[in-house]
Amino acid sequence: MRIQNAWRTASRVLTQIAHDPRTLGLLLLVPSLLVGLMAWIFSDTPFFDQFGPAVLALFPFTVMFLVTSITTLRERRSGTLERLLTMPISKFEFTLGYALAFSFLAILQSAIAVGFAVWVCGLDTKGSIWLLLWVALADAVLGTTLGLLASAFANSEFQVAQFVPALVFPQILLGGVFLPRDTMPDVLHAISDWLPLSHVIDALNAIAKDTEDANYIGMKILIILAFAVGAVILGSATLRRRTN
């Protein structure tokens, strides 16, 4: 593998996005605006303090999933990928380049969302804000890599949208947003252990309530990143040169 090819791909993607203010705004600001809207709606209730950490997991994850999958799909549909692969660049280097570019944007997005939730919306966090930020970063990177994986199987933007109920909604339902995972039926609890968003929500809730130590949070971050790496590898292995 030539890491230079991945860096060049990442640089090209970031340059394109920098010239597209609508996409840049969607990536960086929309999750924070959604967090702020939820905080405003439930301003007179304890709802935001109770579910705010899970919200920090859902919005960046979903936005990064959609934007990454659609952008990568357009590269295939336009023939860009096919032209690139005639050059000395592999599908893994191409996928890694996209993962690096959108992961950089995910880091910015998560930093803005966490800062906005804590210092503007008043999210009450008993644990370390730095740990909260690290988990949020891993969560956004996870959304990016799963978006890359979904784009490898999709033939159109409509099919990308269909992956949201297939890959995102089950993780939301079983991740512990609406009901603690340890109160779920045994079978559903066992399934949720294999869903990466469950570990994100577990970690964010533990930080917000300060119920676990840094070792526990670090282990959860490693699990999340392991899912992200697996998605990049599988996405590059199944990526097609062009979608007609």
Mean pLDDT over each residue of the chain, to the nearest integer: 86
pLDDT score, position 159 = 81
Q: What is the DSSP letter of 96?
A: H
3-state helix, strand, coil in the chain (%, to 5): 80, 0, 20
pLDDT score, position 12 = 86
* Distance, CA of 101 to CA of 41 (rounded, Å): 34
Q: pLDDT grade, residue 242 (50/70/90)?
A: low
List Cα–Cα distances, 176 to 11, 122, 130, 165, 180, in angstroms.
37, 22, 22, 17, 5
Phi, psi at residue 19, to the nearest 5°? -95, 10
Q: Is the pLDDT of residue 77 over 80?
A: no
Q: Is the pLDDT of residue 101 over 80?
A: yes
If one compares 178 and 220, the residue with the highest pLDDT of the two is 220
* Distance, CA of 108 to CA of 136 (rounded, Å): 11
* Distance, CA of 159 to CA of 88 (rounded, Å): 30
HSE (CB half, 13 Å, CA atoms) of 4? 1
pLDDT score, position 187 = 94
Q: Is the pLDDT of residue 244 over 60?
A: no
Nearest by Cα to 35 from 24, 23, 43, 44: 43
pLDDT score, position 229 = 93
pLDDT score, position 192 = 93
Q: pLDDT per residue over 32-68, tens digit each?
A: 999 999 899 988 888 888 888 888 888 889 888 988 8
Q: pLDDT per residue over 152-211, tens digit each?
A: 887 777 787 788 888 888 998 899 887 888 889 999 999 999 999 999 999 999 998 888
pLDDT score, position 193 = 93
Q: Which two tokens stand for residue 102?
A: 């959108």
Q: Is the pLDDT of residue 85 over 80?
A: no
Report CA Rg, the chain: 18
Q: pLDDT grade, residue 241 (50/70/90)?
A: low
What is the number of other CB atoms lying within 10 angstroms of the CB of residue 215? 8
* Distance, CA of 64 to CA of 106 (rounded, Å): 7
